[in-house]
Structure formats: C-alpha cells, structure tokens
Structure 1
Amino acid sequence: MDEFELTDNQRRVLDYIRQHTAERGRAPTLREIADALGFARHSSAQDYVKALERKGALERIPHRGLRLNHRSRTPAAMLLPLVGRVAAGSPILATENIEGEFGIDASLFRPRPDYFLRVVGLSMRDAGILDGDLAAIHRTDTADNGRIVVARVDDEVTLKTLECKRGRIRLLPSNPDFAPIEIDPERESFAIEGLYVGMIRRT
C-alpha cells in the first residue's frame, strides 16, 4: 500500500522533487516540474504540489519553505528560503527578497537554520566566507560577543562579527581591506536579525 495513498502522478511529482533536491541542492520550480514530467500547464504542477501537502508527503514550514515528510525516505531533507539582496527597510524574509529555495540536510547545522543569505562581497573573506556563498542563518535577536551575525543598521543588512565592549557595539569584517562599522545607538537603529551557523559553497 502506498505510504501516502498517492496517485501515480502525485508519486512521480514527489519522486522528481526528491531527486531534483538531492542532485541540485534546491527544490524544482513549478516550470521545471511541468517540463520534466510532461505536464501541459504549470498550474498542473502546482495542483500536484498542493495535493502532496494535503496528503502529508510535503510539509510547508513557516519561514522555512517545503520539507519532505519524515516518511518520504529522506528524513533530513528540508527546503529553506534563499534570500538575495535585501531591499532597504524591508524584512529579510519579505517576498521581494526571496530568490527561491535551497535543499539541505537539516542535521548539518546547529542550531538549525531558518534561511540562507546569499553573500555579496569579500568583507568576511578571512573567515572563509566568500562572495556568492550561501550563509546559513538561524533567526534570533540576540548573540554572544564574537559571533558572526546578520545585523541591521538603519535600513542596511550586513554579515559581520559582533563585538560588544564597554558599552560600544562594533561590527567587524574579516578582511583588512574593510573598516569596522561603529554603531552609535543614539543616532542609528541597530538590531540583530540572525546568527551565522555555517555556509554552503556552490561550485
């Protein structure tokens, strides 16, 4: 008996999503599903994905995207939002900032990440974080001194090492070509948006 009582086409869609995620590190788009499986309309792929969610084969996690159910033979597979350049003043996970989804083994990172942030620039080069890397971020508004964080200064979001000393806050780069960012709480809005827990480099 089918573990989810799926139709043949639903099973094909689920198997394709599993295969695509394993091979490419991200979930397929509806267009890719439709093209790969020969559906005449992309809306058909959307209907199958929704049916798989209803039957429990796929699970949509708030702010994390789709995850294959633990009975689907890939227990750690999880799809997380991939955030590109963050629009000034908008929440990190606002729709306009989401480039897509990226699949991971959830056991690779501790604590578990909530999204990936595409790194732009080389300010964290000496910490092994390069332009184009996908930084895994755990959502939190607190972090210990010396941890790499996603911070918001006024309307800008940056990935830097947090330094708190004698009431001063600085965001430190890991590249001597870049200057530290000095935070003046009386003149600037400052907030921690997340904690860096690792990265993926796509070759």
Structure 2
Amino acid sequence: MKLTARQQEILAFIRGQVEERGSAPTREEICRAFGFRSPYAAECHLRALTRKGAIELVSGSARGIRLPRGSGPADELPLVGRVAAGAPILAVEHLEGRYRVDPRLFHPRPDYLLRVRGESMRDAGILDGDLLAVRQSPEVRNGQIVVARIDDEVTVKYFQRTGDRVSLLPANPDFTPIAIDPGHRELVIEGIGVGVLRALKE
C-alpha cells in the first residue's frame, strides 16, 4: 500500500532516529518533530504505517517501534555497553557502536546486542564480554533468559514467576537468586535473550 506524504516523512524520521541513536522515537518526540497537538495524532499515523507494513509496533514499550527486516539501518543492531542508572537501555550514551548481523542467525530477530558483564550466567554459556542478542518484549515466560531492570540495575538472568513473586535465577552456583515482590520493588523486563555472540580474544 502506498504511503501518504506525511507517512513517508514520519517513516524517514523514525529511520533517522534509529540510525543516529540506536532507538526509535517516542510518540511525544514524534509530536514535537511534526507539531502534533497530542500523542494520539502520532499514534494514528503509527498505526497506519503498521497496517501498510512499513513498521511494527511493540506493545508495552515507549520506544516500541520496529523497522521490519531488510529496511536499511534495522539490519544493524545497536550494541549496548554499561547502562547508567535510571536511563533507557538504548540511550545514545550507552551505545558502543552498531553491528551488522545476519537476521537468519536468530529467531525471533533481536533488536539490540547487550555486552554481558560478569559470570552469573556462565553455565548457560553466557560469559563475561559476550554479546547477548535481545528481543524487546514485555511478555516473558518462565525459564526464559531476560534482561531485567531492578530499580536502577540491569541484569541478565533466568525468569521465574510463582504467583505474585518473581525470581531472577543465575546459571552459576556462586551467585544467589534475586527474589522480587513487584508490589514493593520495581521490575522492568527490557527484553528476552535470543542468542549469544562471542568475540574472539587475542
């Protein structure tokens, strides 16, 4: 389906933001860029772009706009290094660069790479310095490897929910599981691990 002139402008803006800083714009940022009076106007344009196959929307994420496979910069994944407390995981100051990755390596396709720190997931084959391929998704099942933000800390662990309680489980007996009561402590799932890349050390 053919895009309107305004839809083409918004799509170009989204692509530019992804290319420049590694993350899609929020609805509010689209509003400011195009002079819309409310985020609802931006949302209407985004839904129209989704219907026409130009973008994909990810529920539960302020920056949940994904460019479909094969649409230029989206084939390059942003690499996230250390994450500052309280800042979005794909904030520009966290990005170490971009890597072109064959999308056929992973299923589902990841949205970014996270440089792993520490050995807490060693027995799952995820070592210090590895690049974890992460798919942004607020939905998670027990047993999946997740990138979780607890208060202001970001960690990689197995996810386990029992009733209202959530446990983040390491894959290394030297580390202690993290028990969370979401009613008393903030927990945000930043994404699900879908694969690992290992840089060869000289």
TM beyond 0.5: yes
- Matched with 2:144 is 147
Work out the CA distance in 2 between the residues paired with 1:202 and 1:102: 12
Q: Which has the larger radius of gyration?
A: 1
Q: Match for residue 81 of structure 1? A: 78
Matched, 1:128 2:152: no
| Partner residue, 1:169 | 166
1:115 and 2:102 matched: no
Distance in 2 of aligned mates of 1:93 and 1:80: 11
**RMSD (Å) for aligned C-alpha atoms:** 2.5
SS in 1 for 2:120: coil
Cross-structure match for 2:96? 99
**Number of the residue aligned with 1:16:** none
Fraction of identical pairs, as percent: 54
Instruction: Give ranges in structure 2 of 5+ residues lacking alignment.
Output: 1-11, 25-66
Q: CA-to-partner distance for each residue in 1:1-47, whole Å, 9 max, x for gaps?
A: xxxxxxxxxxxxxxxxxxxxxxxxxxxxxxxxxxxxxxxxxxxxxxx
Instruction: Select 2:155's aligned residue among 153, 158, 161.
Output: 158
Runs of 4 or more above 6 Å deviation: none
Relative to structure 1, the CA distance from residue 64 to residue 107 in structure 2 (aligned partners, 3 Å threshold; closer, same or farther) is: farther
Higher strand proportion, which one?
1
Contact 2:164–2:182 under 8 Å retained in 1: no
For the structure 1 residues 103 and 121, does the alpha-carbon distance in structure 2 shift closer, same or farther, using more than 3 Å as the test?
same
**Deviation larger for 77-86 or 94-103:** 77-86
1:159 Cα offset (Å): 0.6
Give CA-to-partner distance per residue, 1:59-90, whole Å, 9 cap, x none: 7683469x9x969xxx9x92110000100010
Q: Work out whether residues 23 and 90 of structure 2, in 8 Å CA contact, stay in contact via their aligned partners in 1.
A: no
Q: Matched residues in 1 for 2:179 and 2:70: separation?
A: 45
User: Alpha-carbon deviations, 1:93-135, whole Å to 9, x = none?
Assistant: 0011111111210111011100000000000000000000000
Displacement, 1:166? 2.8
Structure 1 unaligned residues grouped into runs of 5+: 1-53
1:192 aligns with 2:189: yes
8 Å CA contact 1:118–1:135 kept in 2: the answer is: yes
Aligned-partner residue type, residue 182 of structure 1: A
TM-score of the superposition, structure 2-length normalised? 0.64
Question: What one-letter code is carried by the residue in structure 1 that aligns with 2:167?
Answer: R
Quote how far apart the aligned CAs of 1:161 are: 0.3
Please tell me whether the aligned partners of residues 143 and 160 of structure 2 are also in contact (alpha carbons under 8 angstroms).
yes
Seen in structure 2, the aligned counterparts of structure 1 residues 64 and 113 have a Cα distance that, compared at 3 Å, is: farther
Displacement after TM superposition at 1:184 (Å): 1.9
